Structure 1
Amino acid sequence: MKMKQRSHHHLLNCSLSNKNMSYYVGVDVGTGSVRAAIFNGHGKVIKISTHSIETFNSIPDYYEQSSEDIWGAVCRVVKNVVNEVPKEFIKGIGFDATCSLVILDGFGQPVTASLTGDDKRNVILWMDHRAEAEANFINMIGDDMLKYVGGKVSLEMEIPKILWLKKNLPNSWSRAQLFFDLPDFLTWKSTGSQTRSLCSLVCKWNYKVNCNGENNWSEEFFKKIGLSTLKDNNWRRIGNQVQVPGESIGNGLSSEAAEELGLNEGTAVGTSIIDAHAGGLGMIGCSAPGISDDFTTRLGLICGTSTCHMALSSKPIFVDGIWGPYYSAMVPSLWLNEGGQSATGKLLDHIIDTHPASSQIRNKIYGKMHIQQYLSNLLQSMAEQNNYPDVSYLTKDLHIWPDFHGNRSPIADATLQGMISGLSLSSDEENLATIYLATIQALTYGTRHIIEALTDAGHNIESILICGGVSQNSLFVQIQADVIGLPVLIPIERESVLLGAAILGSCAAGSFPSVHKAIRAMAGDANVVKPKSVSYQYHCRKYKVFRKMVNDQKEYKKIMNDIS
C-alpha cells in the first residue's frame, strides 16, 4: 500500500499571499473537554472556546465516552470562535484528539464498547486499561512489529482494545464496520472521507511505514493475534487510505458539517493528528535566544492529564520502553520517538484533592488564586524559615514513585503502582505542600529517566519545551530545569496544542509551502528558564532513591508471589 504521493508535494506549490487576511481554526478534543481556537496567519490566537464532554467510569479502569457527545461539543465550540471573522477569511480547519477508539456500524452509527450495552458509550478512552490481558498476549507473541513500540504494545493502544472487543462483546464485534482513532473520526464527520492519518495509524495501530513512503498493514501480525478478518474488503474497517498530517482531505467541509460548524462548505480540512503530537507540532519551532532551533535537539513535553515526551531524529532510533520510531508521524521526513507518563496533571490533582487540608485551603483562597499557586507560595515561606537555599530541600525524607496509573515509559509496565515513603501523622497544609512538591519532583525524575533512555540510544537532547497547563506553574518548570540540567522553553503562545491543529488547517489550505515552513512561521517565540546549580546534586541523590523505589516494588511483588 502506498501513501498518496501528493502528501508533501502539493504543499510545495502553495502561495504565501494574503496571510494577513487568512485565519485558521484548530480543534482539540482532550480527555475532559473540547476546545477550539481561531488563529491568524502568524500563529496569534484570536478567540478560544471550551465545552466539557462526558466520561463514563462505572467499572474501575474502564473509561468510555460518546462520539455523538464529542461531535456536538466540537460544533458548539467551533461556532463560538468563528463568529469573530468573516467566513470567507477562514481558510482551513485542523483537528487533534486523544488516541481513543471509536466504534461505528455500517451506517456510521455508534456501536457500544460498554458492558452495559449502551450504544452511546462507543468510545474507549485512551486511559482505559481493560485490555491488559490482550496486550500481554500480543507481547507474548513477539512479532517484529513490536520493535516499533519499544518492544511492547501498550494496553492504551487500539489493537489490544479491538481484540478485547472481539473476545468480550461479540455482538458489537459483528456490528462494527468502522474503527476510527478519535482524530480520524473528526475528519470523517467533517468531510465524509474515511481517510486515516498516518500519525494515528503508525503510533497507535501497529501500522508499518518507512522513509520511502511505503506503508501497509501486516497481514501476518493480525493473523497471529486473531484479528485476520480486519483485512477483509482491503482493510476497510481500519483504513485503506492514508494521508500525512496537514494534507488536504477530499473537497473540504461537507455541506452538512459546514452548517453544523458555522463555516463555508469546502473549507479546507487538514488530515488530523493525535493531541500530544499537535502540541509538539505547535511548539517545536518556537525561537529563543542562544537556543538551537534544530528540531532534533529538542524534547517536547506536552503536559495535561498525562504527559507525552516527543523526540525527533533524522534517522530511526529504537529505544527500549519508548514508542517509535515513527516516520513522519509529527513532522514530515523526521522520525519520532514518544515517551510518556500516564498520570501527570491527574496525579497532582489526586494528591491535592485527597488530602485533608485541601478543603480548608480552598475555603481560605476562594476566588483569589489557584490552590497550586498557594502551595508554591507556602513552600517558599517554609524554605525561608528553614534557611534552605532552595525549596526542593524540603523533601529530603519524602520520596514518591509517581506511577499511580502504571508506567508508560521507559519501563512500559502498566501494573506498576504509586509509592510514598516518609509519611507522618501530620495532615496540615504544610504537609500537603511538601507532598505536592515531592510529587512534582517525582514526575520530573520520571522525565529524567525517559531522557536517559533516549540519550543512551542515540538522541541528543539540548533543551526541553513544555506546553499545557503545568507550563504556567513556575515551580514545576523550574524543577524540570534543575533536575535535568537543561534550559526549558515555554512558548509565549500558550495554546500549543490548538496551534498545532490550526497549522494543519493552514497546510491543507495551501497557505505555506511546507509543514516545516508553517511550523517556523506560526510557532512564535519562547521564554527560557535556566537550571539552578544549587540543587542539582541534591536531585541526583533523590533520583537514586527514585530508581531504587521501583526495584523495591518489584521485590515486594516477588516476595508476595512466592508460593513455596
Structure 2
Amino acid sequence: MKHYLGVDVGTGSARAGLFDANGTLKGSGVCAIETLRPAPDFAQQRSAEIWTSVCAATREALAEAGVTPGSVAGVGFDATCSLVVSGENDAPVTVSPEGEEDQDVILWMDHRAMGDAEEINAIGGEPLEYVGGRISPEMELPKLRWLKRELPESWSVARRFWDLPDWLVHRATGEETRSLCSTVCKWTYLGHKGLHGEGWDDGFLETIGLGDLAEAGHAAIGQSLAEPGAPCGTLTEQAASEMGLLPGTSVAASLIDAHAGAVGTLGVALGNGDITTRLAIIAGTSTCHIGLTEEPVFVPGVWGPYFGVVLKEYWALEGGQSAAGALIDAVIARHAAAAPLEAEAKGQGKRITDLLDARLTTLAEETATLTADRHVQPDFHGNRSPLAEPWRRGAISGLSLESGPDDLALDYLATVQALAYGTRHIIDEMRNAGARFDTLVMSGGLAKNTLFLRETADATGCTIVVPDQREPVLLGSAMLGSVAAGDFESVRSAMTAMCGQGATVAPRGGDIAAYHDRKYRVFRRMQDDYAAYRTLMAREETDR
C-alpha cells in the first residue's frame, strides 16, 4: 500500500503525518520549535532547528504508522509564511539585530517592518491591487526592505531569500523551484502572468528600493515557479537519510500552512456541491479565511485575488485575524483569576477553557447573551483584514470591580464572540465585492472549541462544517505528495478522494441572531472609536 507524507511547520512545532490514498491518517509525529524575541514585535527562528524538527517528526510518524520508507510515494510540505535568508552554499544569514548567526528566519508574525509596509503602501503599484490594496508587514517585501536598510552586512552576503515552505522543498531536494502559493500570496508575484518570472514587477521592486532583487533573472527570489502539487524534484541522499525515507521519493511544490488547511477541508462532504460557496477557516494561533472564485474578486483590505495558489484555474481570497487562539490566551492570562484556575485545570487534566465553558453554563441557561455589557475589540495584534491596519490595538469595554472566575468567564465569552464578529466583517466585505460564501469549513485548534463553533455560526449566520479528519492541514500537504507521485492527476481529484466527511453546526437564528446583530454594531463602533482616539492623540502631538 502506498502512503503520502504531509509535513506542516507551524509557529511552535513541526508535525508530520502519513496518510493512505483514502485520506486515513496512519501515523503522526511532532517536534517543538523555539521562537526567539530579541525586541518587541520581533520574532525569529533558526532554519537548522526547523529542519531537525521536521526530520524528528517524520521519523516519529513512520514509527507510529509502522510502515516502511519504501511505501512513502510522495512528500508535501506546508509552513508558515516566514522569511528564510541564505548565503553561499545555503549557509544561514542572520536576521537578528543582535547578530546571532544561526537566527536566519523572520517569523510570519514579526511586525518589525510596519513602517516599511506603510511606505510601500504610500508608494503604490499594480501588485498592491492583488493584496487588497495594502501590503502587510507580515509579507516578505517589507521585511526585505527592513533587512536591507538595518542589516546591510546580512544583505550583502545573502544569496537567496525564501518563503519557509519553499525553503523546505529546497532543503529536501536541492532544487530552486518556488511555489505559486508562497510567491503570489507573500511576495507580490502575479501568478496569472506565468510560471517563468513574468509575474515579477521589476518597476515596482525598483520603486520601493528593492530593484536588486531583479538581478540575474530574479535568482534570489525565484526564476521558476510551479502550481502546488507539481513535482519539484526528489529527496536527496542527505535529506532522505535525515528523514528516514528513501532517496528519489517525489516532493511536491508546497503550500502556506493555512492554504494546506484549505486543501484539506474545502472538499469535506462536498459531493457535487459548489466549492466557490465555501470559505475555509483555519483557526489556530491566528485565523485565515480562504475561499475560491472562478473570476478575480477584488476586496479592499482582503488579500488577493491570488491566481492558482490553491487550485489550478481558481482565484483565491484570503482574509485573516492576526491573533485568534493567541488572543484568547492573552485575554485569559491578563486576568487575576487566571493563575488559580489554570492550576485547577491542570490538576484535573483539562484546559482552562474547559473550566470556563463549564462556568458559563452555571451563570445562565443561554450563555450567549451573558455579554450584553461586556464587549471586546479584538485587534490586540492589529487588524489584518478587512481594515488592513496593523497599528490597531484591542480593548475590553464593560469592566467592573469584579476579578473572580465568573468575570474571567465573561471576558472569555466576549473574546470568542469578538473573533466571530471579525469573521463576519470579513465575510460581509467579500460578499459585497461579489463572492458567494455561505458555508464555513473549520479546522485548526479552535475547531475543537464547541463555544467558538457555536458563536461563529450564530454571529455570521453561516452553516459550519467540521471535518471528521483530525489533521486536515497535514492531509492537505499529503495530498500534494500524492499528486507529485502521479497517483492523482490534480489536487482537486485528490481532495475528492481524501477529504472525507464532517459534522455540521447550523446557526440558530431568531432572537440569538438579533442579539448578535446588536453586538456586531457595537463591535464596528468600537473599531471606529479606536481610530478616533488615535486621531485625537496624534493631534495632541501636533499641537505641542
Short-chain TM bin: over 0.9
- State the shift of 1:381 in Å: 1.5
Report what 2:43 is aligned to: 63
TM-score by length of 2: 0.97
Aligned equivalents of 1:213 and 1:204: distance in 2? 16
Q: Does 1:225 align with 2:191?
A: no
Report what 1:545 is aligned to: 522
Conservation of the 8 A alpha-carbon contact between 1:211 and 1:327: no
Structure 2 residue aligned with 1:461, among 433, 437, 442? 437
Report what 2:217 is aligned to: 234
Structure 2 residue aligned with 1:554, among 531, 538, 541? 531
Report what 2:115 is aligned to: 133
- Give the partner amino acid of 2:91: Q
- State the shift of 1:425 in Å: 1.4
Aligned equivalents of 1:304 and 1:209: distance in 2? 28
The 10-residue stretch of structure 1 (107-116 or 205-214) with the greater mean CA deviation from structure 2 = 205-214
Aligned equivalents of 1:480 and 1:441: distance in 2? 7
Per-residue CA deviation, residues 14-47 of structure 1 (Å, 9 max, x unaligned), is xxxxxxx110110000001111111111111111
Percent of aligned positions with the same letter in both sequences? Answer: 46
Per-residue CA deviation, residues 39-82 of structure 1 (Å, 9 max, x unaligned), is 11111111111111011112000000000010010011111112
- Give the partner amino acid of 1:401: Q
Aligned equivalents of 1:125 and 1:364: distance in 2? 33
Report what 1:79 is aligned to: 59
Conservation of the 8 A alpha-carbon contact between 1:211 and 1:333: no
Per-residue CA deviation, residues 71-110 of structure 1 (Å, 9 max, x unaligned), is 0100111111123211221101100000000001021010
Q: Does 1:371 align with 2:352?
A: yes
Q: Does 1:53 align with 2:30?
A: no
Aligned equivalents of 2:194 and 2:502: distance in 1? 34
Report what 1:387 is aligned to: none
- Give the partner amino acid of 2:277: T
Report what 2:174 is aligned to: 192
- Give the partner amino acid of 1:482: D
Aligned equivalents of 2:195 and 2:39: distance in 1? 42
Per-residue CA deviation, residues 252-289 of structure 1 (Å, 9 max, x unaligned), is 1011100000001111111111000000000010006x
- State the shift of 1:292 in Å: 6.9
Conservation of the 8 A alpha-carbon contact between 2:184 and 2:191: yes
Aligned equivalents of 2:133 and 2:358: distance in 1? 43
Q: Does 1:257 align with 2:239?
A: yes
Aligned-partner SS, 1:217 = coil
Report what 2:282 is aligned to: 302
Q: Does 1:142 align with 2:124?
A: yes
Aligned-partner SS, 1:240 = coil
- Give the partner amino acid of 1:481: A
Structure 1's 500 and 515: CA in aligned 2 closer, same or farther, altered over 3 A?
same
Q: Which runs of 5+ in 1 are unaligned?
A: 1-20, 385-389
Report what 1:443 is aligned to: 419
Superposed, 1:423-438 pairs within 5 Å as: 423-438=399-414
Aligned-partner SS, 1:43 = coil
Aligned equivalents of 1:322 and 1:537: distance in 2? 27
Aligned-partner SS, 1:201 = helix
Conservation of the 8 A alpha-carbon contact between 1:97 and 1:273: yes
- Give the partner amino acid of 2:273: D
Aligned-partner SS, 1:299 = strand
Aligned-partner SS, 2:232 = coil
Aligned-partner SS, 2:144 = helix
- State the shift of 1:212 in Å: 6.8
Report what 1:156 is aligned to: 138
Superposed, 1:1-20 pairs within 5 Å as: none
Aligned equivalents of 1:247 and 1:210: distance in 2? 17
- State the shift of 1:293 in Å: 2.7
Aligned equivalents of 1:187 and 1:446: distance in 2? 34
Structure 2 residue aligned with 1:408, among 378, 384, 388? 384
Aligned-partner SS, 1:237 = coil
Per-residue CA deviation, residues 323-382 of structure 1 (Å, 9 max, x unaligned), is 000011011111001000000010111111221212212232324322111111111121
Report what 2:456 is aligned to: 480
Conservation of the 8 A alpha-carbon contact between 1:306 and 1:343: yes
- State the shift of 1:213 in Å: 6.1
Aligned-partner SS, 2:5 = strand
Conservation of the 8 A alpha-carbon contact between 1:285 and 1:293: no
Q: Does 1:280 align with 2:280?
A: no
Aligned-partner SS, 1:28 = strand
Conservation of the 8 A alpha-carbon contact between 2:15 and 2:57: yes
Aligned-partner SS, 2:102 = coil
- Give the partner amino acid of 2:487: S
Aligned equivalents of 1:243 and 1:28: distance in 2? 19
- State the shift of 1:235 in Å: 0.8
Aligned equivalents of 2:444 and 2:491: distance in 1? 22
Q: Which runs of 5+ in 2 are unaligned?
A: none
Report what 1:15 is aligned to: none
The 10-residue stretch of structure 1 (74-83 or 199-208) with the greater mean CA deviation from structure 2 = 74-83
Aligned equivalents of 2:103 and 2:383: distance in 1? 27
Q: How many residues align?
A: 536
Conservation of the 8 A alpha-carbon contact between 1:209 and 1:216: yes
Aligned equivalents of 1:520 and 1:293: distance in 2? 11
- State the shift of 1:162 in Å: 0.5
- Give the partner amino acid of 2:333: D
- State the shift of 1:241 in Å: 1.0
- Give the partner amino acid of 2:247: E
Aligned equivalents of 1:213 and 1:254: distance in 2? 24
Superposed, 1:37-48 pairs within 5 Å as: 37-48=17-28
